[in-house]
Structure 1
Amino acid sequence: MSDSKKADQKKAIVFLCDGTEEMEFTITVDVLRRAKVDVTVVGVNIAKEFALCSRGVKITPDEKFSESLSSGNYDAVVIPGGNGTASILGDHEGAKKLILEFYESKKIVAFICAGTLVAEKAGIPHKHTVTSYPAFKSELEKVYNYSEDRVVVDENVITSRGPGTTFLFALTIVEKLLNVKTVNSLKNEMLTCSSL
């Protein structure tokens, strides 16, 4: 890739914790990388060199969380689901500060499933409409406008419901980072249902 193309290449952080929902994580990372988004997988409070995900799958991050991470070098941050992710990121001051920094810089902040619980803890304003895994509806609708759509886009905040909506979630991020043409190309490449 030429230096000029690298300069134009979109970049994203995807967080990874022990207990992350692996479908939501791997599908999102895969789709973004197919779209030529430069994805950095950032491990947060991982006990070993790999994260032990919610169904026992082991995934190794590209790097561990560092306070030197800045939204200035990236275009989006993605918070996958899984109770581990919601709990760990919800208690991690550095990660929450970074998520809010992305939001305030008008860059994409994307949450799926239980990950949407982190939005409130990170300080994403309550004016937004969000969605999540149904089990968290009662908690989230106390502070946000709540929708049961598969994916909700409200300004620079993208939220989605769960494993079964992850392709649509990831493709929506690609559309907002890049364009519809890339999304359509990916759908054809992956033989994805045209109704997504």
Structure 2
Amino acid sequence: MFLHLISNKFKCLRYFSCNMVKKALVLVAEGSEEMECIITVDVLRRSGVHVDLAGVNGKWATKCSRGVVVLPDIELSEAKGPFDAIILPGGLGGSKAFCESKALGEMLKEQEPPTALRTHCVGFGKNLTSYPSVESQVMDGGNYTYKEDEVVVDGSLITSRGPGTAFKFALTLVEHLVGVEKAKEVARGMLTSY
């Protein structure tokens, strides 16, 4: 599962700031799902969104869930908002690190918007989806409504099922940050549809 939170501040300003470059923070930690991380970063950058890839455990090389090594642009403590979006890729190891990060919890609460969400009490009452094997963890406590759709959008919270839905997830982010025409343009350039 991975998710995206759009700042409520962004939603209020989006109609007045169409020409401003949007800013996103994508997090990575040991054990993050590399496809969810890298595809999202790549698609957002292709759409003109400024993306900071932040290491939750530091700025050094980070080994993802399938052994791919990613070098973050910055460490989480260097992340300077405000951000129009914060994206948390799935992967069991990465999700655990996200849950344990108090700094990340504060950032998520500031965004006012799934295992990290529950841990930090963010987005209660919203619809979401996740990787099937973690559904029971996400739903523990009954704070969310679970959907089995590939991508679920509920207000400022956007969630997706896993690696196979990474392009659809990323293009949905582009639609919400930059617009549907830009999402279609980027999709065409990658020889996929949206």
Bin the TM-score by the shorter chain.
Answer: 0.7 to 0.9
**Aligned match of 1:35:** 47
Distance 2:62 2:48 in 1: 24
Q: How does 1:99-178 map to 2 (within 5 A)?
A: 99-103=108-112, 116-141=114-139, 142-178=142-178
SS of the equivalent of 1:86 reads helix
Q: Is the 8 A contact 2:54 2:79 kept in 1?
A: no
**Alignment size in residue pairs:** 175
**Aligned-pair CA distance for 1:96:** 1.0
| Partner AA of 2:171 in structure 1 | L
- 1:58 equivalent to 2:69? Answer yes
SS of the equivalent of 1:126 reads coil
Identical aligned residues as a percent: 41
Distance 2:85 2:93 in 1: 21
**Aligned-pair CA distance for 1:168:** 0.5
Q: TM-score, normalised by structure 2?
A: 0.85
Quote the RMSD (CA, aligned, Å).
Answer: 1.7
Q: TM-score, normalised by structure 1?
A: 0.84
**Aligned match of 2:89:** 80
SS of the equivalent of 1:90 reads helix
**Aligned match of 2:56:** 44
RCO higher in structure (CA 8 A, sep ≥6): 2
Q: Which runs of 5+ in 2 are unaligned?
A: 1-16
**Aligned match of 1:93:** 102
Distance 2:109 2:151 in 1: 21
